[in-house]
Amino acid sequence: MAVEAALHDGAASTSDEEDKASASPPSVWDQRPTKYKSVLWSVCGYVLLMELAERLSYYGINQGLKNFMQMKLGWSAVSANSLKSTWTSLVYMSPLMGAYIADEKWGRYPTITTFGMLYLVGDGLLAVAAHPSVLAHRNVAEGIFIFGLFGCIGLGTGAIKSNVITLGADQFNPTDASETHQKATFFSYFYWCINFGAAFAYGYLASLSVNGSSIVPADLGYFACFAICTCVMALALLCLRLGRARYIQVPPSSDAMSQLVRVLWQRRTRNVAASRIVWGFGLFLLSFGLNIVAAVSVSGRVVLSLLAGVASSVAIVCWVVYGQRQIGDDDDDNVTHDNVIVDNVSVKTSSSAREDTDAVQKVVRILPFAAFTIVWGCVSDQIDANFQSITQQCDLRLTATTQVPGAMLGIFDPLAIIVLIPVLESGVYPLYERIALSPPTAFGKTSAGLALAAFWMFYVGLFEIVRRRSGPVDGNVRDAGSGSPMNNLHWAWNVPQYVGVALCECLINVTAYDIFYTEVPLHLKSTAQAINLFTVSMGSNFTSIFTLAFGQYIPNDLNVGHVEYMFFAVGTLALVNVAAYIVVMRRMQFGMSASGYGLVAASDDGTEERTITVSDISSDADRDTACSSDDDHPHSV
């Protein structure tokens, strides 16, 4: 009996120890020093104010770039449009760097503040370059402008882009129903802040840049605009800093991006698909580099831009074709050693390597979809590039002495998005479901968006022919922003193409956020969103390539050119793109489930699909919440 009692006491003691050991440590949310009734406003209010101010600063810079480069720096329309698209490409590429540094090195808050300071310096340099006393020394102004734009703002805004919304999402406890609801509301307000900043920039700052104001002379318009952007960015950083004591700061731990690179790099010598995917990424980078050289070169632009276009096209084919294949290696199943050496790279044990490969396979599986969105990105980027050139040669007069700044028409994009999303969600999609007896699928939405994108490129090409044939207005009246002669076609006729592209954005981009979120494992969601932003970067890169390649048809005065040739070429490419998309996605059976009703996710081997419910996603307690990442368009959710 004594032995039994001792055994019982020992077992009880062991059980108590096991219970203590198995007890979960308090979460970072449980350890928050102060409990806030409303995390949305008491904590994330600072993040929302920061986002509003940062987006206002960004779009304030963005709307004025083309005209500043033409009117103040004396560059041609081709150079201005090409360099602007190249800069946009950098803005969308730098989130890869920002995500890596935040996730694996510094954490989100230090990354945002560090690159935010770099961003602030860039805004200040642009203001300096825009001052008339500096513009008097053209070479000095150009040097300051280029360094501030590319070296500071281009890197700074991208690094911020990939982390601000995730920092906000980190503040909500995923096990608290109230905070989970607040997090959904946070994304809606985040979206509103983006669009408010964009609308203010395209509204007031676009006019200030060109016309000045009652207290700002017209020759100081760009200086005042960029100076306001500098002050607003300083305010953004101050807002973020004021809330620092309230933030939950998740320490860097994930090696998701490193895992993706490591697995693909190790597989490249043993697997053709992995090799071609790596080639594709390398060709994208080569295309970007060639395009930068072409944008700043005086001669040889056409050849360089064509080479860049070929490199991008081959890269797209690599991702479309080989993203459908397996990157796994059968030899892994037979490995019994603790390590194997492949090309002098130490590989993990076979079971761990297989898990890594299975996870990366799901990312590889979204690459064909990602590749098809690149041509769409080229269409979307036309709003701030060549659409503006056409608009500025329409009749922009409001009265005999006042004009609508051509850049101001960009406001119709965010305004249309604000209207169209609730119309689609509350009206069009439910109506479709009643008629088709099933909700619209991600495949269907994207197919419709890509087809409409092709249509709008042909529409704009025909519109340009009509505009040019309308003839100049009487009296040789010129646009105040670009100095281009106006034609007898009212500026309001440009609105349909802005609204049309906005509709495409609602169908494609919102669906893409969903796809890049649901199709990959939890720890790779941020990496997948970085790939999403990278494809936007390559779309802007394509815009620059087309602009340079058709440069001979895009003179400063479009009345003596044929810019419609470029739009017809982009439209033709967009038609090929949507046809290939339909064929490939049907073959893969990718995105065939209705978003929000039962989302399609790749199986572990990446070859089949299974349906997962919304509750499955909610239970992930995903702090990355990258599906709502802000891209650089005002419609970003």
Q: How many CB atoms lie within 10 A of CB 586?
A: 12
Chain-wide mean pLDDT for the chain? 80
Residue 312 falls within a domain, yes or no? Answer: no
Tokens read off for 171: 């503040």
442-473 tens-digit pLDDT: 888 899 999 999 999 999 999 999 999 988 88
Pairwise CA distance, residues 385 & 400, whole Å? 27
Nearest partner of 456 among 574, 576, 541, judged by Cα = 574
pLDDT greater than 50 at residue 624: no
**How confident is the model over 562-567, as a mean pLDDT?**
91
Q: CATH number for the domain including 44?
A: 1.20.1250.20
Contacts of 629 (CB under 8 A, 6+ apart): 95, 161, 162, 165, 166, 513, 529, 532, 533, 636
Query: What are residue 612's DSSP bridge partners?
Result: 599
pLDDT tier at 360 (50, 70, 90 boundaries)?
confident
Pairwise CA distance, residues 532 & 373, whole Å? 9
User: The domain containing residue 195 runs over which residues?
Assistant: 39-253+366-628
Residue 316 falls within a domain, yes or no? Answer: no
Q: How many CB atoms lie within 10 A of CB 10?
A: 10
Pairwise CA distance, residues 288 & 271, whole Å? 26
Number of domains forming the structure of the chain: 1
pLDDT greater than 70 at residue 572: yes
605-614 tens-digit pLDDT: 333 333 333 3
pLDDT greater than 80 at residue 37: no
Nearest partner of 66 among 405, 301, 389, 485, judged by Cα = 389
pTM: 0.73
Residue predicted with more confidence, 282 or 406 = 282
Supply the pLDDT for residue 474: 80
**How confident is the model over 24-42, as a mean pLDDT?**
74
Supply the pLDDT for residue 607: 38
Residue 333 falls within a domain, yes or no? Answer: no
Residue predicted with more confidence, 467 or 359 = 467
Sign, CA torsion 130/133/136/139: negative
